[in-house]
Copies of this chain bind each other. A is one copy, B any other.
């Protein structure tokens, strides 16, 4: 049986073009085309598709929010975002929302088909630029802030939720020393509370 595909895209000619390409394959068939998320969500169960081509920039509920809602009903749905935007925030929002893939609209027929095939076989089709962005997001740039080893020890303990007393016990030094280090840490990190220090340490990859 063919894999059912639903297209959600407000550019009608584009969605019809996609549908034509998809319907020419032996593995996939388009069961519905919507120009908005609301309708797609309304007919989720009726359509019974597991694979979605979803535009990001839609009137009303946008693609990211729509992805979340579809995933809530069908956690196993494969949702490929198709968009002109390669804005990083939107990309990561979409991935966090549960999108399986991320393609740009200027894609060729074969790319679309390949993406669908990859998707249903458990993959994550991405355009080259998106893949680079995603991989790049793991590469933490080293921070310019320099903490001494001991300061890192203290901050690490703090980030694990230890009180000053516990930290003192764990590092075999007095609580006063902990406070001393923390004071210096706060100055270096330009913060003035333990939470801010921990948050900043996480953000800047100091530990």
The residues of A with any CB-CB pair to B shorter than 8 Å are 92, 95-96, 98-101, 118, 121-126, 128-129, 131-132, 134-136, 138-140, 158-161, 163, 191, 193-196, 198-199, 202
Contacts and interface: CB of A to CB of B under 8 A. Distances in A.
Nearest to A194: B195
B161 A95 contact: no
Contact of A140 (B96, B122, B202): B96
B128 A92 contact: no
Nearest to A133: B124
Contacts of A128: 118, 121-124
A113 to B, nearest CB: 15
A37 B131 CA distance: 27
Given A99-B135, A159-B195, A195-B198, 16 more contacts: A92-B138, A96-B138, A100-B132, A100-B135, A123-B129, A123-B131, A123-B132, A124-B128, A124-B135, A125-B131, A126-B135, A134-B134, A159-B199, A161-B191, A163-B193, A194-B195
Nearest to A198: B195
This protein's copies in its complex: 2
Contacts of A122: 128-129, 132
Contact of A158 (B118, B195, B202): B195
11 contacts: A98-B139, A99-B135, A122-B132, A123-B128, A123-B132, A124-B131, A124-B134, A125-B131, A158-B195, A161-B196, A202-B202
Nearest to A193: B161
A135 B195 contact: no
A197 B199 CA distance: 12
A101 B126 CA distance: 13
Nearest to A98: B139
Task: Give the most central of A92, A128, A131: most B CB within 10 Å.
Answer: A131
A194 B138 CA distance: 27
